[in-house]
Structures are given as C-alpha cells and as structure tokens.
Structure 1
Amino acid sequence: METLRNFRAFVKKGDARSKESNNHAVIYTRVSTKEQAENNLSLDTQKKYCQQFAEKQKLIIRGYFGGTYESAQTDERREFKNMLAFVRKNSVSHIVVYSIDRFSRSGAGAIGIIAELSKKGILVRSVTQPTDPKTSMGSFYQNIQLVFSQYDNEQRRAKCITGMKERLSRGYWVGKAPLGYCHIHDANNKPVVVISEQGKLLQKSFLWKVHERLTNTEIARRLKALGLSISKQRLTEVFRNPFYCGIITHGLLSEPVMGSHEPLVSQEVFLKANQIVKKVPHDYKHQVVNDDLPLKRFVKCKQCGVPFTGYFVKNKGKHYYKCNNPHCKSNTSKDKLHDLFRQLLVNFRVDKKLIEPLKMQLKYVFEHFCKVDTSEYAVLRKRFCEIEQRIEKLKERFAIGELDKALYEQFMDKFSEEKESIAKTINSLNGGDDLASFTAYAEEVCKNLLLLWDQGNYEQKQRLQYLLFPEGLLYSKESNLFDLLGMNPICSDKRLSDYDTICSGT
C-alpha cells in the first residue's frame, strides 16, 4: 500500500470529474413561435419549475438563457448557442430545461451535442422527465426522448405541408405576404392578403417600367422620394414574381394556380415588365452605354453580319469601331463612321403628310405626361416638408452644440440631396413648357433629325437610330457606305435616292 501511494501523483485528473462535482447550473427556456411567447405564460411557467428543480437539487443558478421564441428544428439558434458557449467557458455542470424537447428537437444532432457536453462533465437535466444521464440507462432513455421529439416534429411538419398545399391549390397564399401586400382576417376570421400602401407604390413601378422603360435605379429613386426604400435587385425580384398579377407559384406546387388575392397589375403589364427585365437583369450592362460610341451594336459588318463594338486607343486618344467577329478585320474610326451617319441623317425628314397627325398625337402625349397625379404629388409635398423640418432641426442641434461639425455636414449633405431629388420630381409632375412651344419644337426636330441626334445622349441617339432604321445598318469598310436594311415609313421613300446620290459623290 505504501508503494502505491508513491504513484498517486501520476493519476490523470480529467476535467469531467471536476465539473461533475460542482453544483453550478444554467436554465434554458424557449417556445417555438412569437405568438406563444406573447400570448401565453409558457416561458414564465418553464422558468418557475426549472428554478424549483434547481433549488430542490441544491444547484446554484449561474445564468438564464432563452426566454424567447426559437424553433428547435435546428440547433443554429442564437440563445441556444450563447448558452452552450457560456457553459463551455465557465465552470457549469448542469443545463436545466423544463422538458427535453425544450433543449432540442433535432434528434441525432442533439444527441451529438449532449455527448460532447457529457465528455466535459456537463449534463442536461429535464424537470418533467427525470433521468440520471450519468448512467448508461439514463443516457439511453434521454436519447430515446430526443429521437421521439424529432419524430414528433416531422409528423407535425408533414401535416402542416399537406395543409399548406391544399390552401395554395385553392388560390390562398401561405406564409409571409410579398412586399406590397399585408395579412388581414376576413369575415370568417381566415387570413387573407390585401394590397398595402406600399403595394400602391409598387404598382407605379410596373407602369414606369412598361410605359417609360425606366431602369430599376431610376424607379428605386422615384420610390424613395415617395417614401419606399427598395434596392434595384429587389425590384427585379418584384418584376419576376407573378403573384403581383394574380398568379401563385410556390415550391409546394407543381403548376401555377390563379390566386384569390387582388392583383396589383394586369397579366399583360406584368409580362411586358418581365420581358424588359429579362433583357437587362438588375440593370447590369457590360459597358454598353458610352456617349462616344452610340452606333455600337446598331451598325453591323456587311461582310459577316456581326454587330460592331468599340474600343479606345490611348496613344491616339481616339475611339474606334470594329466588327465583334475575331476573324474579321473590319474596323474604322469613330469620326469617320459618325460623319457617314450624319450624311445619312441630313437627308431624312418626317413626311410632310404626317406632320399634322403627329402634332395631334403629341398633344395627347403632352397631356398624359403633364397630368399631375394628385396622390403622388401630395405624398411628395409631405416628404418635402418633412425633409425641410429635419434640416431645420439639424441646424438647431448644431447651433446649440449637440452635434459636431463632421456629423452635421454628413447629415446636411444627405438631407439636401434628398430634398433636391424630391424637388426635381415635383417639378416634373408640374409639367414643363406649354403645349404650343412643345409641338413647335417637335415639328422643328422632325425637319432636322440630325440636330436631334447630335444633341442627344447615348440612349436618345439609340432610340432615334432604331426608330428610323429598326433593323440597323450594314457597313462596308471597302466602299465606306451604309446598306439600309429597312426604314420607318414615317420617312418618305424619296430620301433613299437622296442618300444614294450623296454617297456616290463622296
């Protein structure tokens, strides 16, 4: 015996033994849904019985975790992870829960966590399911309870999915309402979705996209001025969601169904907006917009039919056009191709017979775009006044020393920019020049299309080009001539011969 005492210093002392011996504990409570957390006393009841259990077992409570709604289907829960981190870092031996399914319903995942905690001497104790997890039988019984909790969860999930499928197939939306809609209860106390105030603004975004061909960035700017902040990426999701035209598509459905909710826009408007978004998703463009190269993609190589692209030569400081076919050598300078296109435009006029009908149509267009949307105008005026009040409040706080100069300038720049943006939108709603000057300018432009092209930006030039020549133009480097693939009938046929005469003399 004396000999064995000499070897006591070599006995390995594990952390599990020391932790098992202490009586420190934490209490973890939870419910699954927000409604349970707000409408019943389950959390308080769990906490009460856990405290009584800890007192009876003479455990010292080191902390409380949970106390909120967290689904136990997964163990990636904030309060749950905080609790695990706490017991691992501190000298805690017990985790007290009301029942084992309050700890977790993830089955095998929960068994793995408990096994890992057990190696560190940390035990999970259930108030309503008393077992001794230190024994093999107690551990086995606890594992059975965890597996059964997962099975119960899967059964509930299967029943829930069946109900969701049935409701969706009848045209009723389930889950969180899409942006622009909100949940209410009908006369039979059943949840339905209806258009919200945000939805009325989103409705405008569809019309802007279809009728004015605005980019998502511009639409987002307009919506922000009206009080709805949304990213251009989120707008793309909206334009691609058929829910807004009354059609329900869902991962639980194999086919689309007609929804019972009120559509935000017609199916025709939705499909048009969707087609526009498909062409340029998220407004991402691969260096297409370049005011120096408006003929890109519009002019095609006569030899191979591939659209021209453009590039910039730094040494010369000049832009060039070239065929996008790597095997084709057709290229020319921007100045040369633009001069040739100007020669083409200078001989084109809108047919005189169409001037009067065109002026009549312009009158309708002018009245349509200058008509003030009173609801939109009222919202903008309200937002404008709110921004002015914020600016005055900001000045006052800066004057009395509540804000430093850097913070003052930061918010002043932000509010001023927003105020200017709203003011521009209000001015656009108020209308511009009078009808007479508008039609007079339009008539002058119709007589001089070259002037319109020279003064326009990239987008305006492209619109004019495709308006006059919907199929584009073919360019031959050898002859330095354009071949017309077709022409808008608003221009007289006489112009074609004029162009041929000009080109033959060059």
Structure 2
Amino acid sequence: MRAAIYIRVSTQEQALEGFSVPAQRHRAAAFCDSQGWSVMGIYADDGKSAKDTNRPELQRMLTDADDGLFDVIVVYKLDRLTRSVLDLYEILARIDKRGIKFKSVTEMYDTTTATGRLFITLVAALAQWERENLAERVYFGMEEMVRQGSRPGGTTCYGYDTISGEMRINEAQARIVRHIFDAYEATQGMRTIQQMLEAERVPPPNKHWSTTTINYMLRNPVYIGKLRWNLRKRGKGKTGAPIIVDGRHAPIISKEQFDRVQRLLDRRRTLPPVAATSDFAYSGILRCGHCGYAMSGTSRKYKSVRTKYYACVNRQKNFKCSMPYIREDVLEDAFMQ
C-alpha cells in the first residue's frame, strides 16, 4: 500500500510537547515500515496552526490525493491533521471519494464504519474545544493585563521602546510624532506630511510612510499615556469595542492637542481626502469624462500669474487617457451654466 505521511508542528507545541518534525517523521515512517507500506511522500507544515486548512503542505497533499498518488494518509496524532470538526469532515469526505484511508500512529481509528466515524469526530471535537478554550484563556489574560495598565505584548508603538517590559520614550521618534501632530494641526494634509517625511528621509515605522500610517498615529491614544486594545479582530476589521485605559508610560502629546486633532480629523472625514486641505475646489469630486478616473489639481505660473488646472490621473500616471488639462475658470463657467 502506498502511504503519505503528514506532519505538523506549531512553535508552542514543539517547545512544550516535543512534537518535533523529526520525531513525527521517524514514528510515522517506522509505523509504515511495520505495516509493509511504501512511503510515497512526506508533507510537513512547520510552525502552522491547525485552526484551519490554510496550510501549504496540507493543500499539496490533498491535491496529490485527488490525483491518486497514495492509498493511505498517516499522521502521528489526529490533531496534527486538524483541530476542527468541520475541517475533519471535509478532509475525510474528500479522500473517501478516492478510496484513501486515514491512519493515526498513536490512536486507533477505523473510518470505514459508522462507529469509527463517530469516535474520530468526538476526538476532533475535543481537540477543537481545547484550542478554542485556550484561545479564550489567552484573550481574557491579555484583557486583564491591559486593564491593569500593562502592555500584553506585540509590536512597540512608534515613539517608544520596550525596556524590561516597560514602554520608554524614544526621543528621536517622539520628535517625529510631535512634528506630525503639529503639522496636521497647522492644516497640512496627510499626503503633504507623507511627502515631507519622505523628502527628509525620516525612518518610517514600517517599510515606508503612508497616509494610513499617519492617520493611525494621529488616532492613537497611546501618545497621551493611554493603552488601547481590542481595536481590531485578527484579520476581521474593527471590533467596535476597543478597550482604552490609563497606561504606565509617559505621554508624548498633550491631551489638549490630541483632542483638537481628533476634532479636526472628524471634521475632515466628511470631505474628500484631498479637498480637506487643498485650495483646488474640485479636488476629490471631479471625474474624467473620458475614462472615469479622478482628476487632480495642479497650477502653473506665467509672469507671476498663477493659473489652476485639473488633469486626469489616468493620463498622468498610466498614460492611458487623452483628456486634456482643463482650466479651473472654464470648469467654473460650465458648472454655473
């Protein structure tokens, strides 16, 4: 019989339970040898959770199963394959169509009978319960840390360093944070601030400065000595129920300035992003009549006379539109008519 060996380990499990990749490979290969089976392939997901099936080696194995490259799947334990009852059903149904069996080295399952399927489903349900219960305990533990004013881990916020578990102001970065707040309050838009930071080659918190990064900084209450947690669900957008409490770190921005900036951000939220700080009246609302792209404002000076124009972004950036530049006074006449 042709066998495929599937191996999975997460960092925590490898450290605490000894389910290392070599150990699983050795036990599974020895089991196949004892059964007289030929190992056709070994599929190993290192450092991957079993909460879902989005694992590259698992998906490769299931594709090979569809192609009929083996007759049985061998794992060290069922929870190496999955900790989700629904995922287990889907995997078993998929390999059943190809007549492929499933075997665990350390557990006795017979998926060819109703009783065997019930038993394996119960074991999978317990594994899923264990994973979800652990996640809840971790969540509540982190929540309690935040309520006590301690950071529950994660990336240190720009403007601070973490020293012995405490947030300490990084003066070089703190000057940049103050500069961003001052510039925005002085009615400079996020795009202008981004260009300024890039022109001055200020080291960014991520790969590069972006308006999203600047907006996040302007909205972050950590800079007034607060801790914010549960703002977003992992990969699922905002929760709508963030926890904000007093932290133990020193503030970089005064609460008065932070509140002024929040009111300014809220007021500008109702305007198109460019129109909020631009003197081009049609920025953010004008669209090209040829291709539908936005049109951005620009100006030219001739003998000290400044003339405003609007140009199609698709023409400027992609060279895929023939719409000519349009003077603002021409637009105003057309608008009034």
Distance 2:163 2:16 in 1: 19
Distance 2:42 2:169 in 1: 42
Give the match's secondary structure for 1:140: helix
Residue by residue, what CA displacement relative to the aligned partner does 1:483-503 show, whole Å, maximum 9, x if unpaired?
Answer: xxxxxxxxxxxxxxxxxxxxx
Residue by residue, what CA displacement relative to the aligned partner does 1:24-60 show, whole Å, maximum 9, x if unpaired?
Answer: 2222222234794799672222222122222222232
TM norm structure 1: 0.48
Matches within 5 A, 1:110-125: 110-125=88-103
Distance 1:133 1:90 in 2: 18
- Among 233, 248, 258, which residue is 2:227 paired with? 248
Cα distance, 1:125 vs structure 2? 1.8
Give the match's secondary structure for 2:152: coil
Give the match's secondary structure for 2:229: coil
Residue 132 and residue 319 in structure 1: after superposition, are their counterparts in 2 closer, same or farther (change >3 A)?
Answer: closer
The one-letter code matched in structure 1 to 2:210 is S
The structure that has the greater radius of gyration is: 1
Give the match's secondary structure for 1:318: helix
Cα distance, 1:84 vs structure 2? 1.9
The one-letter code matched in structure 2 to 1:215 is G
Distance 1:169 1:135 in 2: 51
The one-letter code matched in structure 1 to 2:229 is H
Distance 1:244 1:288 in 2: 24
Cα distance, 1:150 vs structure 2? 0.7
Distance 1:183 1:113 in 2: 46
Residue 207 (structure 2) pairs with residue 232 (structure 1): no
Residue 205 and residue 48 in structure 1: after superposition, are their counterparts in 2 closer, same or farther (change >3 A)?
Answer: farther
Matches within 5 A, 1:329-340: none
Distance 1:151 1:38 in 2: 19
Cα RMSD, aligned residues only? 3.8
Residue 290 and residue 155 in structure 1: after superposition, are their counterparts in 2 closer, same or farther (change >3 A)?
Answer: closer
Residue 123 (structure 2) pairs with residue 134 (structure 1): no
More helix by share: 1
Distance 2:184 2:143 in 1: 33
Residue 177 (structure 2) pairs with residue 207 (structure 1): no
Cα distance, 1:78 vs structure 2? 3.2
Cα distance, 1:181 vs structure 2? 6.2
Unaligned runs of 5+ residues in structure 1 are 1-22, 294-310, 325-330, 333-506
Percent identity, aligned pairs only, is 24
- Among 273, 276, 284, which residue is 1:284 paired with? 273
1:384 aligns to what?
Answer: none
2:195 aligns to what?
Answer: 221
2:53 aligns to what?
Answer: 75
Cα distance, 1:165 vs structure 2? 1.8
TM norm structure 2: 0.69
Contact 2:223/2:251 (CA < 8 Å) preserved in 1?
yes
The one-letter code matched in structure 1 to 2:110 is D
Cα distance, 1:170 vs structure 2? 0.7
Distance 1:34 1:157 in 2: 13
Give the match's secondary structure for 1:171: coil
Give the match's secondary structure for 2:139: helix
Cα distance, 1:132 vs structure 2? 2.6
The one-letter code matched in structure 2 to 1:285 is V
Residue 283 and residue 49 in structure 1: after superposition, are their counterparts in 2 closer, same or farther (change >3 A)?
Answer: farther
